């Protein structure tokens, strides 16, 4: 979680580690962009999210060919799930780890090197067809491997065992990407790798988002409104997260099964219902006055929606419902939650007030609307072309808006 909002119960940095962190930060005399992990990765992540969907719209309309020689849908899925998402995850975790362990994993030139590894993967995918497929796979998967090494070193050195599941999820994300490439190299559609990547990211949202959403809500309510506070993470939450992980795993492996299974559909529907109960305990209806808080609840709301739609699609063998569920997770939960976290962390760590100005609210609404339109396109195939176009425009507007509004904060020293 972002250091600006430490959750009660998180271990305080040990005194023997703080000087190392501060010395490394003070020793850096280069660009502010390389002074903390969230700065470069949030900037390139937001810009790339808009770029990928803009290119996808141009490909759909026939205005340009898909980069590389991959099928257009494979390129689109890979670069969002394994390009955009890992960049934001890296920015978040490289910033959160000091809060968890009292250590700073990477700043300055090593941070630039990590960014270069990410960029190499994007260039390799764009040059697919000109490079051997195995080389493209190696360059593309090098980033999650390198990120896992950095994070693992810090978590293990800080003895921060409670966050080992986060490290495990990063490793699994790299495995999902490797599976994606293996399916492509074998001449098949990379459905299993794509689904597994989405499932792992949604799991991270239920795990980490399930801690920061009630925590940030509690912090805001304590300052603004009297009354009961959101229920903190407890055994019920752990049960819901574990049940959700099972449902996501079953959803990810469904393409390998001979057909939809009733048990998987029921588990997904039950998981969605439990996620709704879990979120209701966080009192989202009380966060209306502050967009920086309610957007977290709105983004998390797409998690149970994805479970319910996917479960209904499996039970009814309805491809449209399944695709609606997939995009509730991909465009809604992942897209809006990453945007919410990027804006909040950027404001907090660059010395700006933790409140969302009207322009930021417009950015949130653009991506939320894009997610709803993308879900609608799956449910109403007859209107898919205009709905997809409008959804793409909304997505691009939202993430481009983030770059324009928050880019200057990310490249300048703390206010």
Model confidence pLDDT, tens digit, residues 246-280: 999 999 988 766 555 888 999 999 999 999 999 99
CA-to-CA distance for 42 and 92, rounded, in angstroms?
8
Please name the residue ranges forming H helices in 255-334: 262-280, 291-316, 319-327
Contact 409, 360 (CB under 8 A): no
Contact 283, 217 (CB under 8 A): yes
Return the bridge partners of 131, or none: 128
Q: pLDDT value at position 105?
A: 55
> 60-95 burial string, b = 16+ CB within 10 Å, else e?
beeeeebbbebeeebbbbbbbbbbbbbbbbbbbbbb
CA-to-CA distance for 197 and 194, rounded, in angstroms?
5
Q: Which of 232, 92, 237 is nearest to 169 (CA)?
A: 92
Residue 25: count other Cβ atoms within 10 Å of its Cβ: 14
Q: Which residues fall within 8 angstroms of residue 53, CB to CB, at 6 or more apart?
A: 80, 392, 395, 396, 399
Q: Which of 195, 357, 345, 377 is nearest to 290 (CA)?
A: 357
Domain ranges of the chain: 3-411
Task: State residue 351 phi and psi, 5-degree precision.
Answer: 85, 20
User: Long-range contacts for 176-180 (Cβ within 8 Å, ≥24 apart)?
Assistant: 176/82, 176/200, 177/78, 177/82, 177/140, 177/141, 177/144, 178/137, 178/141, 180/78, 180/82
Contact 240, 209 (CB under 8 A): no
Answering whether pTM is above 0.85, one says yes
In the Cβ-directed half-sphere of 36, how many Cα atoms lie within 13 Å?
26
CA-to-CA distance for 125 and 145, rounded, in angstroms?
17
Report the SS3 class of residue 310. Answer: helix
CA-to-CA distance for 335 and 108, rounded, in angstroms?
28
Residue 326: count other Cβ atoms within 10 Å of its Cβ: 22
The token pair that represents 126 in the structure block: 């764009």
CA-to-CA distance for 174 and 206, rounded, in angstroms?
19
Tell me which residues of the chain have a pLDDT lower than 50.
1-22
Q: What is the dihedral of CA 365, 369, 370, 374, to 10 degrees?
A: 160
CA-to-CA distance for 61 and 82, rounded, in angstroms?
24
Contact 281, 233 (CB under 8 A): no
Contact 205, 334 (CB under 8 A): yes
Q: Which residues fall within 8 angstroms of residue 395, CB to CB, at 6 or more apart?
A: 49, 50, 53, 331, 335, 366, 367, 370
pLDDT per position as a tens digit, 301-354: 999 999 999 999 999 989 999 999 999 999 999 999 999 999 999 999 999 999
What CATH number is given for 3-411 in this structure? Answer: 1.20.210.10
Task: State residue 110 phi and psi, 5-degree precision.
Answer: -60, -35
Q: pLDDT value at position 4?
A: 42
The token pair that represents 173 in the structure block: 């994300």
Burial class, 38, CB count within 10 angstroms (exposed 0-12 / middle 13-18 / buried 19+) = buried
């Amino acid at each position: 979680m972002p250091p600006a909002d430490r959750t009660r119960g998180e271990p305080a940095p040990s005194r023997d580690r703080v000087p190392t962190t501060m010395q490394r930060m003070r020793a850096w005399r280069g660009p502010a962009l390389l002074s903390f992990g969230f700065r470069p990765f949030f900037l390139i992540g937001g810009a790339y999210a808009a770029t990928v969907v803009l290119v996808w719209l141009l490909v759909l309309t026939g205005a340009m060919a898909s980069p590389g020689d991959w099928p257009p849908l494979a390129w689109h899925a890979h670069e969002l799930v394994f390009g955009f998402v890992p960049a934001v995850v890296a920015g978040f975790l490289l910033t959160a780890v000091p809060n968890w362990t009292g250590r700073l994993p990477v700043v300055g030139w090593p941070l630039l090197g990590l960014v270069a590894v990410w960029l190499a993967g994007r260039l390799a995918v764009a040059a697919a067809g000109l490079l051997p497929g195995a080389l493209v796979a190696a360059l593309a998967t090098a980033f999650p491997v390198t990120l896992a090494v950095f994070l693992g070193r810090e978590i293990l050195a800080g003895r921060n065992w409670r966050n080992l599941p986060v490290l495990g999820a990063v490793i699994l994300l790299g495995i999902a990407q490797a599976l994606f490439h293996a399916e492509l190299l074998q001449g098949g559609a990379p459905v299993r790798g794509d689904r597994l990547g989405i499932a792992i990211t949604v799991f991270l949202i239920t795990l980490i988002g399930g801690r920061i959403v009630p925590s940030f809500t509690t912090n805001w309510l304590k300052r603004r409104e009297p009354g009961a506070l959101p229920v903190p993470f407890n055994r019920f939450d752990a049960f819901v997260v574990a049940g959700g992980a099972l449902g996501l795993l079953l959803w990810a492996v469904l393409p390998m099964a001979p057909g939809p299974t009733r048990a998987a559909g029921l588990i997904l529907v039950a998981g969605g219902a439990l996620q709704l109960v879990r979120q209701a305990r966080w009192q989202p209806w009380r966060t209306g006055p502050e967009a920086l808080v309610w957007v977290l609840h709105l983004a998390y709301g797409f998690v149970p929606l994805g479970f319910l739609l996917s479960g209904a699609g499996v039970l009814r063998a309805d491809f449209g419902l399944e695709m609606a569920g997939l995009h509730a997770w991909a465009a809604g939960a992942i897209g809006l939650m990453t945007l919410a976290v990027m804006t909040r962390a950027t404001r907090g760590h660059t010395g700006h007030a933790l409140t969302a100005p009207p322009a930021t609210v417009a950015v949130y609404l653009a991506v939320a609307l894009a997610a709803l339109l993308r879900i609608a396109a799956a449910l109403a195939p007859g209107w898919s072309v205009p709905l997809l176009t409008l959804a793409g425009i909304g997505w691009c507007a939202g993430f481009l808006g983030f770059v324009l509004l928050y880019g200057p904060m990310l490249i300048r020293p703390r206010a």
